[in-house]
Structure formats: structure tokens, C-alpha cells
Structure 1
Amino acid sequence: MSDHELYPIGDAARRSGLSVSAVRFYADAGLVEPTGLNGAGHRMYDIDAIARLELVRTLRELDTGLDEIRRLLEGDTTLHGLLTTHLGIVERQERTLRARRAVLRALIKQGGGTPAQAGLMHKLVSMTDEEREQTIDDFWHDVGEDLDVPEGFVDRLRTMRPVLPADPTAAQLEAWIELADLVTDPGFRDAVRAYLQDAYSTPEARVLATDPFQDFIHVTGAPLMEELLAAYRAGEPPRSPRAQQAVTRFMEAATALSGTPLTPEVRNRMADGYRRIPGILRRLAQDEATSGGPVYDDTHGRYLSLVARINGTAPEDHHDPLPCAWIADAMRDAGPPHPRRPGTEAAGATVITDPPPANGR
């Protein structure tokens, strides 16, 4: 293709990806006029004109208006500025479509819904950040009012709240619709309140809700537990030096909450407690399933699950359960060293004739 060669309208249309009628239209509109006419009076286009026709086609595919294209071609705006403006338009349209998609999916999930429900869902996805914050604040105010739990516990629960990003996915919008619908339902608020009251009514459970214990679980103790789990994931035996160092640090921090020294008896009690955890969880699940009362998965657990989906922090489906038996073996006091039998010492070395206990204990 020569820079000075002129091409008939059919070639210009083919090279720019437009129809002949579209090329004529843009010429008549004053956007891309022909470079000249041939002897028969037919329109002819050079390379520059064909390039501008291709640009017009691209911009029209992005729904750019003719007036905007004219300003660009006349030099009143830049291509970068025009594309930046249209990117913002497309992104706003995308967010709107995602919101509509989330509402439609939620309505279909409910079996079709009603016009009133559709209007409510549109309102929920269109809330401002301040309105969402107020919705969650109102929920926790009602749940926590006169709730018989240790001071500060509800305030800590209140900090676990949804933060919808500026550019949420359809899944995050759907989770927000479900959560907002739940937290504004008086029945759900009563169920969460009843669950928390039942779960933390015993003296042992009330200890779990105190600030020192919660701080240990979620702040100071979390890295210590992670250090212990790292030894487990690395295949370390429970009695290995690495596992013992990690579990000792964890237990010392835990017993420091009550000022209790880490004695062999305390180690064994903690080990027994961890070994009982799987059975306790199974019994709790069975009790919740047969009690007919408020259960975790339907109340506070549902709230936390939706918050995690909205915040993008939902755990993976295939995460490992807590290795309670391994932790219990690591916690258990090993007792005094094995006694040396006569005749087992040679050249200053000690040989243990007894085999090591099973599982390294």
C-alpha cells in the first residue's frame, strides 16, 4: 500500500472493516471525507483517510457518539482522553449490569419474588457505604441490647462486618443482598441473639467471651498456633524439638492469661482438653440438629459466612481440620527421662535399650 496511492470506496470499506454505505454516511456527516475524486467522479481515499475510517469504526463499536468522534478528528480532544472517558462509562455500565444480575439471581433463587422484593433488592445493591454501615450498626445494636455476655464481647463481634469493595463481583453483591435481607429481619436478629445467649450462658463459655481470651485467640495466640501448625504440616512428630518448642510457647502464653504456671499437670489437662475437642464438636452438632433451637450455622455462623464472602476472605472448601490429636500428643508431659539400665553405658555414651513409645510419646 503506497502512502500516495488513492483507493476506490470499495477498497476503503474493505480495508477499514466498514460497509460502503457506512463509508458514504461518515463522508456525508463530515467525519471522514474522501481524499479526492477519480475521472468518473467516484470517491477515492488515501491511507490516512482509511486509517481514520478504521478509528471511527472502533469508536462506534464502543458506542462513542458522532459528536465526540468529530471533536477528536478535529483536534478538540485527544484519543487518550476520549478512551479514558469511555472506559469510565463502560465500567459504570458493567457495575450496573453486575448489580442487576445479582438482583435477578436473588429473585430467581426466591422463586421469582414480587415487585416489592425486586424494589427492595435494587435498593440494597444501591446503598451508599454509610447506609450499609448503619444497617450493620442497627443489627448489632438490637442483637446486643441487654445481652448477658461479658462486657466488650458484642463490640468485638461488631467489628466483624462486611466491606463491599468499590468494584464488587456478582458473587459479592449476591452475598450482600442476602446479608442485608437477613440483618433487617427481626426474626433473624432474635435468632442470633438467642444463639449467643445460649452459647455463652455457662461459666466456662463466658470465659471464652472475655477480652483477654478473645485477644489471645485472635491476636497474640494466633501466630503461636500457626507456628505449631507449621511444625505439623512439615511432618514433625509431636515430640520433636521443633514441635515441643512451638507448643511450649503456645501453652505458656495461654496459661499466662490466668497466671497459672505451666506444670506437668496443667500440660496434661490441656492435652486432654484438645483430645476431647472433636467429640465435643460432634456432640454439639448433634445437639443443635435435634434441639430445634437456634444453631450456629443458621445464625451467627451464617452472618460470618456471608461477611467473609463479601470481604473476599471466605476460606477454601478444602482446608485441613485442626489436628487435635497431634496437638494433644505434643502438649502432654513426657515425664521423667527413661532410667538407665545396668550395662548400657559404654565409653561415656548412653544407650537406651527400651524402644520409644508409640507416636513418639
Structure 2
Amino acid sequence: MFTSHDGLCSIGELAERAGVTVKAVRFYSDNGLLPEAARSAGGHRRYGPEALGRLRLLRSLRTLGLPVREVRRVLGEEEDAAGSVLEGAVAGQLRELGSQLAALRWREAALRLVLECPPGERADRLRLVGSVAAPPSTAALARFWRAWLPPRMPARATAAFLDAAVPQPPDDPEPAQVLAFARLYALVTRPCTGDERPQPEAHKVSGSRGPAVLYAGLAQAYELAGARLRRGHGPFPGEELDSFVDAYASAYGSRDTPGFRSVLAGQLAADPRIDRYWELTAEVISAPGGPPEPTPGSAHDWLCAALHVQTAVAAG
């Protein structure tokens, strides 16, 4: 209780007891978060005993970083609902803080990258990493693949392919990973002249279901081959290759025969490649100094090599 004759206190006394500034009390009052009990004859604010607890709660909510609009929502709810509102507000603040921390970690790695490179390379490195937001967005990479994929790909199949093909930047990157992502971003956003990213002939499947069948089958084959790559196994015919060939055979409406495999091997060998994309992707997602993580590109190469081995043996 306050010791004044009317049981109320001044703004200064309230601020002192709550451990905040008079300016903060005035701000909360002006925004309707801390109602006044009365005004003195001279027009000064007077507060009742309940104001102290409310002010301490306000201070705690603001110390957690909750914006005024969220504080207003928490205080405006009944006691039973206030807990869930507070939980949602804190969860939202945690997500925002996580994004801010990711941006800071990315900027730190980018600054280290510029600082630690030879002086003659700093201008180019600075220009390269400066074009990428912090934290980086993968929207440009997704656009690159959407322009490359068959136009009739169902949305679900497209989303599944993008999940595999678009690398997610690490939350706590090393400078080498920042450089790799910046180079990847530059690769997919540079101006194109003519048809520089043609759809591989082997992927031009007719019909409305063909592309979805092909890419779903390839995703399964790439996953199987990726497990072999992680164990350091060289390319060889097996379940992985059978799954790979079956994806093309099913999409084309053909049978998996030695003749089909021979034709497919020649087609795949002649198709255009985007090796640089997959090399940079592996650098982004792999721990620096550790073994490269498999990508759809490295899995595809492993499977193509296995197919070449098998068809070469059959032809010889």
C-alpha cells in the first residue's frame, strides 16, 4: 500500500518503486497500458496500489522484447486466456530473434571472409557477398529451377524437387560456405544469352503425368545413390541403378531392357550439365574440411557412371 492519505502515489514514486523511469510510466499511461486512478488538483497523475504490479508486468514483457501491440494483447485478455496469448507472443518473439541471430552470424562470416582474403581479392569478395541478403534468401535459386523444370510439372512434384535441389544456407556458416552461397547466387542470377539452360532431352517427357512420374522416381534413385556416396562406394549396377532406369522407363511408358539402357546412357551423356551449380551446393551444405554431402547432381553422376559401366560391359 502507498502511504499517502488517499492511498495513491505520484508518478515519481511509482516509477521509483517499480525500478523504471518516469518517462516510461508516462509512455505506458499515454498508450492506455497503465490507467491512472486520479489527477491531483494541480493536474498531476495519481496511481493506485494495483498500478505497481501492472507496471512490473509491463516492464517484464518489454524486457523480453515484446512490442507494445503484443503487450496490449496480453494485458487485454482475461486471466484464463492471457496465458495462451503470452505463449504465442513469446514464441513469435523467439522466431524473430532467431532470424536476427542468423543474420548476425551470416554477416560475421561474410566480414571474416572479406578480412581474411588476400588484399587484391577484397573488392571482388565484397561485391560478391554484398549482393546477398543476410540472412540469405533462396528465392532466386527456386526461380532458377522453376524456369528449368518442365512447364507441366504438378505443384506437389515441383515443391518436392525444389526441396532437394535448393540448398538451405547453414544457420552458423563458415566463411567458405558464405562464399559458396554467394557464388551460387551469382550463378543463378546472371543474365542469360539465348537458351543457356535447356531442358535435358532425356527429361522431355510427354503427357500430363510424365514429368511427375520421372522426377518422383529420380528422387528415390538419388536418395539411394546418396547413401552409397556417403559410404564412399564407387558407382556400380544395383538397386540404385535399377530405380534410376525405372524412373525413365515409367515416364516414357517403356520397358527396362538392355537396349533401353544403352539408348538412355547415350542420351544422358549428351545432355547439357550444370555441374557448377551442384559443386557450389555441396560446398554450401557440407561442413568445411569434411566429406562433401551428396547432392542430386552428384547422385545423378554416380548413377550415370554406373549405367555406363553396365552398358559398356554388355557391349563388350
What is the TM-score when the length of structure 2 is the normalising length? 0.41
What is the TM-score when the length of structure 1 is the normalising length? 0.37
**Bigger-Rg structure (1/2):** 1
